[in-house]
Structure 1
């Protein structure tokens, strides 16, 4: 052939170990086919398709589960924060730095240092030649966080106030023991209390008879107003996956660690997805926020996107609650394209106006600031609002928000879905009618006037002649028993602030939360307490509603609130979401009715009477009295700092008017739906009669007797003579006019009459 064997044939071995001989020309042809461009493009397509399938398999995990750790590698997240609210602070939004503020903590630290230096100097004067070692030891002791006197107050021998905080020093309430103690201590007062109890029993019996008659009529009205309860029955859901929710919503729930829906969530979400009006109530800490946020997000996923509009409005009574709801809603909707906006007082109006011009899908607001934007912000309205939600609706339905609520409802369309939620939600038809609810569904998981099942309620009795011991008892409880994760409620802002100063002087790490603080200070106090940077939060009823702070062990009521619903909201800050908790309330003689309601609504095994020894109260009372002068000095220094800041603000305001007066006066004036007189009258009508009577009595006591001012007091001799001359001239002219009129009447009477 002339050709070598290796050039003509190629030998190959297949999988079955059989030798196959292929001609060289055929192998060359097959190689050309493999290297053709059509073959290469087909291989590339197959390769890309295979990679896409592999990537899809990696994205979708069939074994994905919702776990408490947040699901996968995301990890647990904080349920809420104030990031958005901090970005809206006035000074940051306007680019101006706030004036330097001397914090109350700095003033207290300075005062404590002065007291320690004074004690050092007194010791040096007493000990003329002390040893060096003792000097160093005394210096180390004085540098501790707590004062020596405060440390001496904490004794390990006191068994009645052990430092465990759970059960020590508390005894179960038994009527016989209480009566025996009253008879031993007061003697004649026991008979008085028995008479009062008998009168209360008679009053209760008569009230029960009237309530039975009213209940029949009221029940008929409720049956006609609310939807039939048979329609409200729904199956139990073991997880959110069984509710047919979208995957982005499930991912947001897993990110916050939500595994199984609570009772109120399992009953509310299916009904809310149907678009029905809801009137819901459940105990505090049962997850009502997620109960209305989840169906809102699910419905907004299918909204028309051709034109942006505000479709959901969520109203809250306080700024902090609104910021918390906004934060939770943003985290739940973090995997969606739904937009949110926060509109509350204390934050930058311009920043909120800019956000509202973009027409966010959900607006979380307080009533006052929302009305301000409706009337004064261009391009914002509630014409397209489809869902209206009221958190803590019983507070919103009270007379304090009646006018604002009516104005907001006028701005919303009638064809909307309305949802009301609260721990003490009422089903009073008269209050719900003005909300324009259409055949609402009543979803009450728990009784409206009932505390959490795991809450232990303790009461400390304050006798009528021992009202001055409240601060000493509170200080004893905090120094010896309840040492961290404690919220203390006060009736007034001044009492909370004074107690903050006292806690600081004693060495207790505390923060305050009330209306006299700036919005930045309020947010900072809440975040520090949530992050365990402070042990005690001294607050008014501003923090009583809706705030969800995990890990609160104890709630202390320095004063019993005026309403039982407010008491339930206060103690509801602890024992949330199935956890244990404890409340301690200082009860006076005027709080007997609320005490009976609290005992009646709770489990008898979880109501206890805490007894504080008399010698402990006396020692802490002496400590409180010794701190009174220091407290007044701190208050005076704070007052001077405040007046200086006020003067600087007035100076800055005048400079702005001089430099930018034309621009300022050219702005349109902001309007309100009420005049000043109407606002004043509405405020007086909504003020409780008890507060009005107390205020009048206090003013009558403090007011000095008015002295009648003389007619010519404060005038100079020249002015007095001039006034007297003018008065004499006026008297003369009056007499002359009288004489003329009498002469005319006499002349007219003398004329002959016509027949």
Structure 2
């Protein structure tokens, strides 16, 4: 064994746990135990082969000399959290308190009843039957049936004959509308081809070479070491096409399916170019923009780990974190700044010594979201601050090549790198749809509860349209006994980071989120994505279901589809493979059972919401008290600080919002305001007391009398003057 000690033998199992066994104890293992270990290892290997596509080129499990590494963490973001010593009562504490109260009440009621009644009926954890017979099919759950045709919507045997006729008429009308829209798109494509050919670089120059490893790309050794540390073996298609072009300094407009490694595709060439930067004077050379705070923190974490063997410095600038600490980091002129648009503009205008005059590379992750009207003004302000000679790279899973949207980014002959279709889901994703009738919209919560209680029990993300719906479902899950967390804009930044980390570390089974978590977040091992509502945009649907089936793994999405979501459903079926679209049917008696359960818990949900509202009011009062104490103690210092400015006034904000709203909505809004003004016309004496009104009327009568007297007097004078003889 060479230089190693002969007294020890090292064995490594599949979980990367190192076990050191002395030579004396080696013979104590029996043959049965060794055979059991071998069979277990074979089963683990078979299961990994089923879940993971071996043809895929990288795995973020990590490895290398530094051991298994997590692809991202929030250590940098946690270090910049605002220091608040206020004691907070979490929603989980309120829910557990309410469950204890309900249990105690039921125990007291049980004591009054007969002793023959079973105790299990009163236990909240056993209120729901865990028999999976009514939901069992194909190993994944309830009554799953494949769609026979792409355009066929989901049929239910329980539907009445009259309603089926109307449904077919609606489907025919939808098909006609879809055909008309396809013809219009073909005409528009013919008109836009010439513009795109003139705007984008010729695609013949961008024929990629097949790279079997990152070493064939002439990358530096520190970067290759960082890639190996994160488990990257062979570049993906988007990485193989992007890295050589980005190293040449060309502008890029790239798109690939979710989970294909777009983050490493733009970080690796950036790090390679920064290794040869001039070091005489520190300056910020790279800016990476992300639409959400969590995505920015994730990109920052991945970039820091890839640059672990270099001297490149990074800074994270997002909302919800300490502004003072970010200002201190920016004064040191880091090489790369990862930011969200709002906080970046705040630092550009109000942080001394920070600017983007030396920015050489601008990267926009999830660029299609950044190019929407919501970020239009902020994006224009950032582009003004960047030099025109920069390199610009845009990436997204649903990236558009619309020239009108890309022109304002001032791209210079950009290279178009679209590896996959922009409206296509992952190839290993199974999409399931649960139909909800027009008169059954109230069954959504019962269906969701049945699916989570019986079929999908861990590693599940559930998306909602509103923050209130996600929060109420969090309370319902807590009262039923399901371990869930929430992620939406009403939470503090500390709570948002905590929810993501707990879900990543498998401390909670369900993550109830809004579209805040739909873009870019890479959480390993998500088995299922459930859409409580179908999103209004198909691109948003692709981003939601893209949280699973990432990096060549299997995944499943379940969407509750209403009657108003027919168009989105047809687009989803059209973009997927026919054998991967299925119809899930939940039994009617199961829905009724869970609906009764939800209705019985409605009063408890309202009580929890009321208690949480009171806790929030108390916390707000404590914050106001602390604020007033700080003003009294440090008033001079606080008022001496310069006021923070913004690039828009309130009037300009309102004007831009009105310009971004559709014309139809704008006209109706103006008409409504005009009608309201016409309706509300104040009377002459409205709002006056009775005494004041009489006095005002008396004064007006006196004024009228005086005016009449004056008019009569002036008329008499005029008549007397006219009666006098004229002079000759």
TM above 0.5, one fold? yes
Q: 1:643 to 1:486 in 2, by over 3 A?
A: same
**Displacement of 1:650 after TM fit?**
1.3
Q: C-alpha distance in 2, partners of 1:742/1:430?
A: 75
Contact 1:67 1:254 in 2 (8 A): no
Query: Structure 1 CA distance, aligned partners of 2:342 and 2:495?
Result: 21
Match of 2:10 in 1: none
Q: In the alignment, is residue 239 of structure 1 matched against residue 213 of structure 2?
A: yes
Partner of 1:251: 225
Any idea what the Cα deviations from partners look like across 1:154-192, whole Å, max 9, x if unmatched? 242624346x86365211013599789468612122222
> 1:653, CA displacement in angstroms?
1.6
Residue 74 (structure 1) aligned with residue 66 (structure 2): yes
Secondary structure of 2:133's aligned partner:
coil
Flag the 1:714–1:578 CA change in 2: closer, same or farther, 3 A. same
Give the structure 1 partner of residue 94 of structure 2: 107
The answer as to 2:105 corresponding to 1:84 is no
Distance in structure 2 (CA, Å) of the matches to 1:471 and 1:695:
34
1:585 CA displacement: 0.1
Task: Give the Cα–Cα distance (whole angstroms) in 1 for the partners of residues 60 and 532 of structure 2.
Answer: 36
Rg comparison, structure with higher value:
1
SS in 2 for 1:188: helix
Q: Does structure 1 retain, via aligned residues, the 8 Å contact 2:526–2:548? A: yes
User: Which residue number in structure 2 is paired with residue 343 of structure 1?
Assistant: 317
Structure 2 residue aligned with 1:316? 290
Aligned equivalent of 1:293, options 253, 262, 267: 267
Residue pairs, 1:704-715, within 5 angstroms: 715=688
Contact 1:510 1:537 in 2 (8 A): yes
Separation (CA, whole Å) in 2 of partners of 1:194 and 1:148: 47
> Aligned residue for 1:160?
135
Aligned residue number for residue 384 of structure 1: 358
Give the number of aligned pairs: 662
Distance 1:98 1:747, change over 3 A: farther
Decide whether aligned partners of structure 1 residues 719 and 177 sit closer, same or farther in structure 2, where only a CA change above 3 A counts. Answer: closer
Structure 1 residue matching 2:490: 3-state secondary structure:
coil
Corresponding residue for residue 275 of structure 1: 249
Q: 1:309: how far off?
A: 0.5
TM-fit CA distance, 1:664: 1.5
Provide closer, same or farther for how the CA distance between residues 690 and 618 of structure 1 changes in structure 2, counting only shifts above 3 A: farther
| Residues 475-524 of structure 1: CA deviation (Å, up to 9, x unaligned) | 00000000000000000000000000000000000000000000000000
1:626 maps to 600
- Provide the rounded CA distance (Å) in 2 between the counterparts of 1:106 and 1:78: 30
Quote how far apart the aligned CAs of 1:108 are.
Answer: 0.1
How much does 1:620 deviate?
Answer: 0.1
Question: In structure 2, what is the equivalent of residue 527 of structure 1?
Answer: 501
- Determine if contact 2:150/2:578 at 8 Å carries over to the other structure: no
Any unmatched runs of 5+ in structure 1? 1-65, 92-96, 751-755
Cα contact 1:154–1:479 (8 A) shared by 2:
no
> Distance between the aligned counterparts of 2:102 and 2:224, measured in 1?
58
Aligned-partner Cα distance in 2 for 1:748–1:311? 93
Asked if the contact 2:262–2:395 (Cα under 8 Å) also holds between the matched residues in 1, the reply is yes
1:74 to 1:373, Cα distance in 2 relative to 1, 3 A = same
Q: Is the 8 A contact 1:389 1:419 kept in 2?
A: yes
The whole-number CA distance in structure 2 between the counterparts of 1:547 and 1:261 is 20
CA offsets, 1:114-172, max 9 Å, x none? 00000000011114xx59xx9xx95xx69xxxx7355342242624346x863652110
Contact 1:234 1:267 in 2 (8 A): yes
* Contact 2:151 2:574 (C-alpha < 8 Å) held by counterparts: no
Q: Within 5 A, what are the aligned runs for 1:502-521?
A: 502-521=476-495
Q: CA deviation at 1:660?
A: 1.9
C-alpha contact (below 8 Å) 1:225/1:440 kept by paired residues = yes
Tell me if the contact between 2:147 and 2:154 (Cα under 8 Å) persists in the aligned partners: no
Residue 475 of structure 2: which of 488, 495, 501 is its match? 501
Relative to structure 2, which stretch is displaced further, 391-400 or 73-82? 73-82
- Aligned mates of 2:656, 2:155 — CA distance in 1: 47
Instruction: Report the TM-score when normalising by structure 1.
Output: 0.82
Residue 213 of structure 1 deviates from its aligned partner by 2.4
Pairwise CA distance, 1:712: 5.3
Structure 2: runs of 5+ lacking an equivalent: 1-57, 724-728
Question: Structure 2: how far apart are the matches of 1:683 and 1:83?
Answer: 37
Q: Do 2:103 and 2:123's aligned partners in 1 also have CA atoms closer than 8 Å?
A: no
Does structure 2 retain, via aligned residues, the 8 Å contact 1:243–1:270? yes
Match of 1:647 in 2: 621
Q: C-alpha displacement at 1:644, in angstroms?
A: 0.9
Specify which of 366, 372, 377 is matched with residue 403 of structure 1.
377
- Per-residue CA deviations over 1:328-371 (Å, capped at 9, x if unaligned) read 00010111110000000000111111111111000000000001
Shift of 1:242: 1.0
Give the secondary structure class of the aligned counterpart of 2:159.
Answer: helix
RMSD: 3.3
Partner of 2:471, secondary structure, is helix
3-state SS of 1:473 partner: helix
Instruction: Give the Cα separation in 2 of the matches to 1:680 and 1:477.
Output: 44
Q: Which residue of 2 aligns with 1:570?
A: 544
Separation (CA, whole Å) in 2 of partners of 1:161 and 1:734: 94
Deviations 1:270-305 (A, max 9, x none): 100000000000000000000000000000000001
* Structure 1 residue 226 corresponds to structure 2 residue 218: no
Sort the Cα spacing of 1:67 and 1:673 in 2 relative to 1 into closer, same or farther, 3 A. Answer: closer
Aligned to 1:122: 109
Mapped to 2, the partners of 1:650 and 1:175 lie a distance apart of 61
Shift of 1:106: 0.2
Q: For 1:264-663, list aligned pairs within 5 A.
A: 264-663=238-637
Relative to structure 1, the CA distance from residue 70 to residue 473 in structure 2 (aligned partners, 3 Å threshold; closer, same or farther) is closer
**Structure 1 range deviating more: 200-209 or 564-573:** 200-209
Which digits, 9 at most, give the CA deviation of each residue in 1:357-392, with x for residues without a partner?
111000000000001111111100000000000000
Alignment partners' CA distance in 2, 1:739 and 1:602: 92
Structure 1 residues 740 and 439, CA gap change in structure 2 (3 angstroms): farther
Whole-Å separation in 1 of the counterparts to 2:663 and 2:526: 34
Q: TM-score, normalised by structure 2?
A: 0.85
Please state how far the C-alpha of 1:711 moved relative to its aligned partner.
Answer: 6.1
CA distance in 1, matches of 2:167, 2:462: 29
Please give the alpha-carbon distance, in whole angstroms, between the structure 1 residues aligned to 2:449 and 2:581: 22
Structure 1 CA distance, aligned partners of 2:390 and 2:95? 53
Aligned twin of 2:182: 208
- Are the equivalent residues in 2 in contact too, given 1:179–1:190 (CA < 8 A)? no
Equivalent residue of 2:388, what SS?
coil
CA distance in 2, matches of 1:434, 1:177: 38
Q: 1:402 to 1:67 in 2, by over 3 A?
A: closer
Contact 1:165 1:482 in 2 (8 A): no
